[in-house]
Amino acid sequence: MSAAPVAVTVDQARCIGSGLCARTAPDALTLAPNGRATPVHPTTAPSDDLTEAAEMCPVEAIAVRNPTTGELLAPVW
Ligand code: SF4
């Protein structure tokens, strides 16, 4: 049984375009032509790489949520 998908968002106003997340979780996050990160898909399979990317973002621009409840899954400290 596969894990339930998660919703991924990137706050474009916060993102500084470091590219860290796209290198850490290339299946889920990519750099857009405007130099800001963007989700590859609005919902995706959960993964350790995606969690790590959300936790490594230097400006906490990435949010990984339960798409049904909105619960924040990453980053969590
Ligand atoms: S790690 Fe954060 S600041 Fe860097 S590109 Fe990704 S979302 Fe933007």
Q: Which long-range contacts (CB under 8 A, 24 or more apart) does 15-21 make?
A: 15/57, 15/59, 15/61, 16/58, 16/59, 16/61, 18/57, 18/58, 20/53, 20/56, 20/57, 20/58, 21/53, 21/54, 21/56, 21/57, 21/62
Domain range summary for the chain, segments of one domain joined by +? 6-64
pLDDT at 24: 98
Q: Report how far ligand 1's centroid is from the alpha carbon of 1 (Å).
A: 31
Pocket of ligand 1 (CB under 6 A): 10, 15-21, 37, 57-59, 61-62
Atom 2 (ligand 1): residue with closest C-alpha?
57
Q: Which CATH architecture has domain 6-64?
A: 2-Layer Sandwich (3.30)
Query: Which pLDDT band, with edges at 50, 70 and 90, does 1 fall under?
Result: low
Span 66-73, mean pLDDT? Answer: 97
pLDDT of residue 34 exceeding 70:
yes
Q: What is the pLDDT of residue 3?
A: 86
Residue 75 has what DSSP assignment? Answer: S
Between the CA of 68 and the centroid of ligand 1 the distance, in Å, is 25
Mean pLDDT within 16-32: 98
Flag whether pLDDT at 15 surpasses 70: yes
